[in-house]
Amino acid sequence: MCAKPKQKNEITGGIAGNKPLRRRILQIGLGALALTALVLGIVFDQHTAVLRKAIYVCLECIGLG
């Protein structure tokens, strides 16, 4: 019994297999990572660190540093 060869997608050049599932898993994983990072950032008070940096004219940002 040999496995059915995977069909190559003419449009994308990719292998049409369980690509959508892999993409979905990647999306869920990265979504969870993004949320975790955001929550961690807020827990560690990094939003106020952003504010601290941003309320002064960033001299480097405008080429004066």
Partner 1 sequence: MGAETKSRKPARGPMRLKLHERRRFWGQAGFTLLTNANLGGFFRGKIYQGGLKQVCVPGLNCYSCPGALGSCPLGSWQSLVLDPLVKIPYYVIGFLLGFGLIFGRLICGRLCPFGWFQELLYKIPLPKLKLSRSGKLDRLLRNVKFVLLSFLVLIFPVLAWQELVKSPLFCQYVCPAGTVSGGWPLLLAGADPGLRLMLGWVFSWKTALTILIILLSMIIFRPFCSYVCPLGAWYGLCNKFSLYQLNFTPSACVDCGLCERECPMDIEVRKNLNSVECIRCGRCKAVCPTAALNSNWSGKRHENI
Chain residues that interact with partner 1, rule: CB under 8 A: 9-12, 20, 23-24, 26-27, 30-31, 33-42, 44, 46-51, 53-65
Closest distance to partner 1 from the beta carbon of 22 (Å) = 9
Q: Kindly tell me which of 2 and 11 has the beta carbon lying closer to partner 1.
A: 11
- Encode burial over 27-43: b for 16+ CB neighbours within 10 A, e otherwise: eeeeeeeeeeeeeeeee
Q: For residue 32, give the 3-state DSSP assignment.
A: helix
Residue 15 DSSP class: E
Closest distance to partner 1 from the beta carbon of 16 (Å) = 8
